[in-house]
């Protein structure tokens, strides 16, 4: 948790700086009112590539740390898996690509991010299957944790909201869009973001029901 807090302290100001550097793309006539802001604008533009690397590395750490934080809880069998960190990272990358699809006005950029999102959705589905296979091949408590999603109270919500609506359906829509079918880009993007949020809610709530002692 401390690690995540430190990363957030880095990511937040860097994100604001990155947005400020691109403000003229939205408001072409933008002028900073103070000379020191103009100086900072020039300075960070000079080191923009370095700033991008800082954002990339810190963003990956931020995306994966929540899953690692939950996986450290040995008392919760559902959370106690090394798959959770990469799964949360893949889910976050997919949501980020979906947000770009909503905001971008460049057709080539939207096509590229739709392709990226498809690849990340494939990785996410692989990690989900791998996670359940690991649980079912492990101890009895972890088998019982997996059964929360395989006939248990979270079966409908997980497989409908996360897997079908949040992963499979948007993947099908994006494939259709890439094959020149007229699909509104906002539709699969919203579904992906919805599925990403539902994944986190369901994993956090279901994890509290899994335990070693009953």
- Amino acid 165: pLDDT: 95
Residue 123 reports pLDDT greater than 80: yes
- Amino acid 177: pLDDT: 85
75-92 average pLDDT score: 92
Residue for token pair 């994890």: 207
69-74 average pLDDT score: 86
Taken in order 55, 58, 63, 66, the sign of the CA dihedral is negative
- Amino acid 213: pLDDT: 62
Residue 204 reports pLDDT greater than 70: yes
78-87 average pLDDT score: 92
Nearest partner of 91 among 161, 139, 138, judged by Cα: 161
How is the chain split into domains, by residue range? 1-65, 73-214
Alpha-helical regions (H) of the chain? 2-21, 23-26, 35-46, 48-71, 84-103, 107-136, 140-147, 155-156, 169-178, 186-207
Q: Are 121 and 167 in contact (CB under 8 A)?
A: yes
Residue 38 reports pLDDT greater than 90: no
6-22 average pLDDT score: 89
Residue 1 reports pLDDT greater than 80: no
What does the alpha-carbon distance between residue 212 and residue 177 come to, in Å, rounded to a whole number? 46
11-39 average pLDDT score: 86
- Amino acid 109: pLDDT: 87
Residue 166 reports pLDDT greater than 80: yes
Residue 75 reports pLDDT greater than 80: yes
Instruction: Check residues 181 and 147 and name the one with the higher pLDDT.
Output: 147
Write phi, then psi, for 110 (nearest 5 degrees).
-65, -40
Confidence of residue 128 (pLDDT cuts 50, 70, 90): very high
Grouping H, G, I as helix, E, B as strand and the rest as coil, residue 125 is helix
Is residue 188 exposed (0-12), middle (13-18) or buried (19+ Cβ within 10 Å)?
Answer: buried
Confidence of residue 189 (pLDDT cuts 50, 70, 90): very high
Residue 214 reports pLDDT greater than 60: no
Q: Are 98 and 189 in contact (CB under 8 A)?
A: yes
Mean pLDDT of the chain: 90
Compute CA distances 165 → 62, 112, 160, 173, whole Å.
Answer: 25, 22, 6, 11
């Amino acid at each position: 948790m401390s690690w995540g807090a430190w990363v957030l302290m880095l990511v937040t100001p860097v994100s604001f700086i990155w947005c400020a550097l691109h403000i003229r793309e939205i408001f072409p006539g933008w002028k900073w009112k103070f000379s020191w802001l103009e100086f900072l604008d020039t300075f960070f533009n000079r080191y923009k590539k370095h700033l991008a690397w800082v954002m990339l590395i810190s963003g990956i750490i931020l995306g994966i740390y929540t899953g690692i934080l939950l996986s450290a809880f040995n008392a919760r069998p559902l959370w106690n898996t090394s798959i959770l960190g990469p799964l949360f990272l893949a889910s976050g990358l997919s949501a980020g690509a979906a947000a770009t699809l909503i905001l971008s006005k460049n057709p080539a950029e939207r096509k590229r991010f739709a392709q990226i999102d498809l690849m990340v959705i494939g990785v996410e589905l692989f990690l989900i299957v791998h996670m359940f296979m690991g649980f079912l091949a492990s101890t009895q408590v972890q088998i019982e944790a997996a059964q929360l999603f395989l006939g248990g109270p979270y079966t409908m919500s997980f497989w409908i909201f996360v897997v079908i609506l949040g992963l499979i359906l948007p993947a099908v829509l994006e494939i259709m869009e890439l094959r020149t079918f007229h699909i509104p880009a906002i539709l699969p993007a919203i579904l992906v973001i919805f599925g990403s949020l539902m994944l986190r809610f369901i994993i956090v709530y279901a994890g509290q029901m899994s335990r070693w002692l009953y």
